[in-house]
Every structure is written in structure tokens, then in C-alpha cells.
Amino acid sequence: MKQRRLGKSGIVVSEVCMGTMTFGVQTDEKEAFRVMDRSVDAGIDFFDTAEVYPVPPTVELAGTTEEIVGRWLKTRPRDGVIIATKVAGAAHAWFNPPVRHGKAALDRHHIRKAVEGSLRRLQTDYIDLYQVHWPDHGMRAEDTLEALDELVREGKLRAIGTSNEDSWGLMKALWTSDKEALKRFDTIQNNFSLNNRRFEDELAEVCRREQVSLLPYSPIGGGVLSGKYNDGALPDGARFSEYIANGGPRQKAMAKRFFNPRSEESTKRFMAIAADAGIHPVTLAVAWSKQHDFVASTIVGVTSEPQLDPIFAAIDLELDESTIEAIDAVSREIPYPMG
């Protein structure tokens, strides 16, 4: 598998990253180990998690995913695997005691507590990439970046990144780092898929000019691009099936944001393109994502081992020009159908 650098850091990772947010709820530990083992066998050396995982998140289960990853990490050489995790912030309003004292914030106190907790659960003495899960534009950027910079200098973190950020927030953070001589964000983890190309509007150019790498999450559109929700289907065990049937207002809104009449129409057209190319629609979605110059590693996720096969088929696949043109034609006709 090809390798790419994370921003300007010294970290080089596989073009595909295995996300772990299902581990501990939809995916039990034994299956999670199988998924991670097969990922390594396929050439994936990059794994992404977060202190609030698994999803759907609850205070009681928060940290379970990191614990599972930590137990797996002890079964292999630490320096052969790149681990990314994230710190919760004010956007995670439910994330209160007993996980950490007081409301989660991106200040020195909470960031240091969060890092200590993640290191303990992951059973490691350093984290390769540490990311701000959601930005808090109500805080001074200096406060967050100074805390992260200290932890890098202490050797507990190797590189830092942000997530779910906009162009202004990313540039504000980069400007602050340059001005104050602090560690810079080398990555940004945002939603980017065939059904959501908003990243290309502005952030892609910021990443190119500032040498920040995108780590796209939900490249399969939350599973929508597989076609499993087409024609109103709600397959058992699927995340949006659960959200629609039993979720609260926020979860139902998220399901609608990812799956709606426009995204269903675009998905069906992308599936036809995949069929013409002789590949699985999931393979098409992952291959398309990793073919962008501003993308370092595309974050995929599964609930069971068999779902890995169409993802792995994209590892060495490069879509030809006619396929890319067909995809772009759909995007022009049905722009950004997600949300």
C-alpha cells in the first residue's frame, strides 16, 4: 500500500486508515481484533479512535473503544502501528463526570486529563496523532495550542490535528501557531465523500497551500453509498436504521442529513458508475477519496470483518479518467446532496 505524509510532520501512514468508532457497541472485541488484524495484513498501519467512542456515545461507554484498541495494541510491536485519537470539547455537552471533572473544554486542564486517560486506555506512552474532535471558537486558540505544544515537547504526542473545522478556524489556528511559535496542526479530519464534496469549496485549497492533510471520515457516506438504504430499506444493525427507529431528535436529524431523496438519487447513479467499472460501490467511494492530492489517508469503518473486502479492493485501485468524469457529472447535476 502507498504511504503518505501527515502534513509537514515526520509521520508517514497508509493511504487507508481503519476507524474504530463501532468497537464496543456494534462490534465486539473479538470481531474488532479480527478487523484490525486483517487491516494490518492488508497493509494498513493507521488506526483512528477517540476518547468518546464508541458511537452512539454514552457516558457509561466512553473510552471503551480506546480500551479495545489498547488491548489489541499490546499484541504487536508499538512502533509498527500509527495511533490517532481525539480530545472531546464543548461540543460534547453530554461528556461530564465521571469521565472528567467538569464540562469538557479545550483548555490545559482538560486536554492534559484527556491525554492521560487516552494513554492509560491505549496502554501506550505516546500518541502519534492527537486531534481536537470539535473546535471551540469561543476559546482563545492560544490556550488550546499551548497545551498541545507542551504535550508534544514532553514526548506524549508526536503530531496534532483538528477535526470538523471550517476554513476560518483552521487558518486562525495556523496563524496562531506561527505567531506564537507553537506546534502546528498537520491534519484536519472532516466529512468528505461522493455525497459531500463541500471540502473542495475552500478547505482543499487551504490544505494545499498550508500543507495540511485531510483525513476524510465517512467516505462511504455513513454507509449510504453502499446502497443499503436505497428504496427506504432499514437493514438490521445499520447505524441509521437504529437512529431512525430509536434515536433521539439529533440522531434522527443526522440520519436525514446523510440519507435523503437527493443522496439516494446520487447514490444510485454512483452505483451505476461502479457497475460500469466492474467494481463494488464501496470500492468506488474509497478509491475516489484517496485519489485527491490533499488527502493523506481515508478513514474507513466497518461493523464486521466481511465488510472489509470491498474496502481492501480499493487499496491499489486508481480510477481512470472516464470514471472520474462520470462522477463529476453526477456531482454537478446533484451537488452536495448530503444535508
Q: Which residues are catalytic?
A: 53
- Give, as one character, the DSSP assignment of residue 135: -
76: its cell numbers: 504487536
274-282 long-range contacts, CB within 8 A, separation 24+: 276/323, 276/326, 277/319, 277/323, 279/310, 279/313, 279/317, 280/310, 280/313, 281/225, 281/226, 281/227, 281/310, 282/220, 282/225, 282/226, 282/307, 282/310, 282/311, 282/314
Phi and psi of 26, rounded to 5°? -75, -25
Helix axes 64-73, 108-122, angle to 10 degrees: 50
Pairwise CA distance, residues 261 & 230, whole Å: 9
- Give, as one character, the DSSP assignment of residue 136: -
- Burial code (b: 16+ CB inside 10 Å, e: under 16) for 33-60 equals bebbebbbeeebbbbbbbbbbbbbbeee
